[in-house]
Amino acid sequence: MNDNRTKNRTKKSGAATFFYFALTLPALTAAASAYADDGAPQPTTSPSNPQALAQTLPPSAQVSQAVPAGKRRAEQGGTVRTDQPDTTSALVNAEADQAVTPPTPPSSQASSKGFIADSHLNLLLRNYADYFQAPPSLYRHAWVQGVQANYESGFTQGPVGFGVDASLFGALKLDGGNGAGNMVHVAKGGGGSEQLAWAYPGMYDIKGRISETVVKYGLQTVTNPFLEPHDNRALPPTFLGVSMVSNDLVHTTLEAGSFTRVDARGHTNLTNLTTSYGGTRIDRLTYVGGTWHYAKDGEMALYADQADDVWRQYYGSVAQSFGDPATIKWSGLANIYSTHDTGASRQGHINSNAYSVSISAQHGPHALLLGYQQVLGEQFFDYVNETNGIYLTNSMDVDYNAPHEQSLQLRYTFDGKYAGVPGLKAMFWGVYGWGADASAEAAQNASPSAPLHDLYWKSGEPVSGHHHEFGFIPSYTLQSGRFKDTKVTFIAMWHNSSRHYSDGNNMEYRLVVNVPVKVF
């Protein structure tokens, strides 16, 4: 997502700045002390897990999942959640495992050690530098130090356990002008604020557990095909609502939830949920679904959601792999979204399907993927803003989701685990999209005052044409020592399009260093 915002200037008071440092300096001191502990936090998934970049089968979700996600989603990020299941999107995975924190083991309520005994406090220090340019005039840059202090209690003992989670988020702007948008703190009128530092409660919830089922209410994050957090800045977005995750059925994870507000990237207050492309307000988003691991290397997923008075959306996927990387491992994925307007149809008539299929082959540290994606319908494939709610294979730097658009991707990934360099990963890709034709919806929104005019018109003509992109993401995770599990990631992306395609030319470079620290 380009995340352009209206420019505004807001300065932080001296008292507020002092309050910020009073909160964050003790955390930094504790972090420095924790670095000396060789019992550094273990990664949630192996640092050299090839699944994240080769689109192979994601692991089962853990019981304590409900925690942390735009036109452009190929932007770095990390996650504050304590479990990090892979998604079907390579780029989301490359962003989501920027750093890891110790997982809460999936265990039944009967094995609970208690509210205090099972509690954890972890810090995530993220240094985030970003440079974005979209000729001829848009230029944005930022350098921010973020801190997340994440407390997760255990559950009280008994048939039903109760607990709480709470997180304090803080950030210090080291560089970044008024046009930096949500790369820094967003002023009330939009645009990048000149505020030097900001701190706020990033997450807070109460939770209950029966057996292998956890219910949470509060400001939290979840991971599913509709609400994957777009965690691509110094601090992640979080969502207000209720969630349920259950692993009571063997080889099956069931989920449900209902959310009404979001604490967006760069913001310190709750705002309405909106659609990413249409900008339409969503009063409530409700979802239900699950994933069935029918074999060791195979899974199926089915989900449905309703954005009140906007759309009903359905998602399905099948993933299967076989073979061994020592010889050759084959992995295949097919998924689809089907979207239809509902209620008051605030975003107009919607009747579209978007699907993708991919196949990859891995030999040793090398993997090659070929992916195809197509949109069937007159509308853009849209999803909830502040999320990566598009698991389609070719959604990389841009989404390739215009009406009737087709796209093809070739991707190479390297996993150093199989080459004697554990912790080293790299991903190169190229995507070409063609056949976009928004003429039908453009005719319905021909007036410049029409709410979707800017979405379906570009440079005086209906959205159409072709475009392509290239990208490169190398990363390295430290395997030992006092800074064990620190992850350094560099992201470089270039996108070029024809005159009337919706996403313009741009280039972006990002460097991110994440340092997870286990306090207790």
pLDDT at 194: 81
- Provide the pairing of β-strand 351-363 with 366-376: antiparallel
Instruction: Give percent of the chain with pLDDT exceeding 90.
Output: 75
| Out of 92-106, 180-194, 357-371, least confident range | 92-106
d(CA 210, CA 292): 21
User: How is residue 6 written in tokens?
Assistant: 């209206």
Instruction: Note the pLDDT of residue 135.
Output: 87
pLDDT above 70: percentage of residues in the chain: 79
Confidence of residue 178 (pLDDT cuts 50, 70, 90): confident
Q: How confident is residue 94, by pLDDT bands cut at 50, 70 and 90? A: low
Cβ-based neighbour number of residue 11 at 10 Å = 12
Mean pLDDT of the chain: 84
Contacts of 448 (CB under 8 A, 6+ apart): none
pLDDT at 10: 34
Give the chain's length: 520
Q: Do the beta carbons of residue 356 and residue 393 sit within 8 Å?
A: yes
pLDDT value, residue 68: 28
pLDDT score at 488: 98
pLDDT at 99 over 80: no
CA 334 to chain centre: 20
Residue 378 in contact with residue 405, Cβ under 8 Å? no
Report whether pLDDT(274) > 80.
yes
Instruction: Read off the pLDDT of residues 193-209 as tens digits, 9 standing for 90 and up.
Output: 888 999 999 999 999 99
Question: How does pLDDT run across 18-62, given as a tens digit for each residue?
Answer: 333 333 333 333 333 333 333 333 333 333 333 333 333 333 333
Rounded average pLDDT over 265-285:
97
- pLDDT of 82 reads 28
- pLDDT of 287 > 70? The answer is yes
Residue 213: is its pLDDT beyond 50? yes
CB 479 within 8 Å of CB 423: yes
Render pLDDT for 402-458 as a digit per residue (tens, 0 to 9). Answer: 999 999 999 999 999 999 999 999 999 999 999 999 999 999 999 999 999 999 999
Q: What is the pLDDT of residue 107?
A: 55
CA-to-CA dists, residue 320 to 60, 88, 97, 332, 346, angstroms? 14, 12, 22, 5, 38
Task: Check residues 46 and 377 and name the one with the higher pLDDT.
Answer: 377
Quick count: other Cβ atoms within 10 Å of Cβ 303? Answer: 21
DSSP designation for 153: -
Task: Confirm if 79 and 202 have CB atoms less than 8 A apart.
Answer: no
CA atoms within 13 A on the CB side of 94: 32
Q: How far apart (Å, rounded) are the C-alpha atoms in residues 356 and 373? A: 4
Chain centre to alpha carbon of residue 8: 27
Q: What is the mean pLDDT of residues 209-236?
A: 96
**pLDDT tens for residues 299-319?**
999 999 999 999 999 999 999
Kindly report which listed range (17-26, 103-112, 320-329) carries the lowest average pLDDT score.
17-26
Distance CA 178, CA 190 (A): 10
Given a contact cutoff of 8 angstroms between Cβ atoms, the answer to whether 401 and 390 are in contact is: yes
Residues whose CB falls within 8 Å of the CB of residue 454, separated by 6 or more in sequence, listed in order: none
The three-class DSSP label of residue 308 is coil
In this prediction, residues 160-169 reach a mean pLDDT of 97
DSSP string, 273-322: EEBTTT--EES-EEEEEEEEEEETTEEEEEEEEEETTTEEEEEEEEEEEE
**In whole angstroms, what is the distance from residue 151 CA to residue 111 CA?**
20
241 with 79: CB under 8 angstroms? no
Give mean pLDDT, residues 170-177. Answer: 92
Asked if residues 479 and 424 have their Cβ atoms less than 8 Å apart, the reply is no
Predicted pLDDT of residue 309: 98
Every domain of the chain and the residues it spans:
14-518
Distance CA(9)–CA(248), nearest Å, equals 51
Pick the CATH number of 14-518 from 2.40.160.10, 3.40.630.30, 1.20.1630.10, 3.30.530.20: 2.40.160.10
pTM of the predicted protein model? 0.82
Q: Are 116 and 108 within 8 A, CB to CB?
A: no
* Tokens coding 140: 């944005």
Q: Which residue's entry shows tokens 């990002």?
A: 510
What are 252's two structure tokens? 């099956």
Dist CA 489 CA 425 (whole Å): 9
Nearest to 218 by CA among 193, 242, 200: 242
250-254: long-range pairs with CB below 8 Å, 24+: 251/60, 251/292, 251/293, 251/294, 252/290, 252/291, 252/292, 252/293, 253/60, 253/61, 253/290, 253/291, 254/289, 254/290
Residue 100: band (very low, low, confident or very high) from pLDDT cuts 50, 70, 90:
very low
Count CB neighbours of 405 within 10 A.
29
Residue 210, C-beta contacts closer than 8 angstroms, at least 6 positions apart: 109, 159, 160, 161
Q: Determine the Cα–Cα distance for residues 323 and 362; give it in Å rounded to an integer.
A: 9
pLDDT tens string 458-504: 999 999 999 999 999 999 999 999 999 999 999 999 999 999 999 99
Confidence of residue 91 (pLDDT cuts 50, 70, 90): low
Q: Following DSSP, what letter does each residue of 45-112 receive, concatenated?
A: S-TT-THHHHT-PPPPPPTT----------------SS-----S-HHHHHHHTSS--PPPP---GGG-
Query: Dihedrals φ, ψ of 33, to 5°?
Result: -70, -40
* Token duo for residue 426: 């790299």
> Span 327-350, mean pLDDT?
98
pLDDT value of residue 190: 73
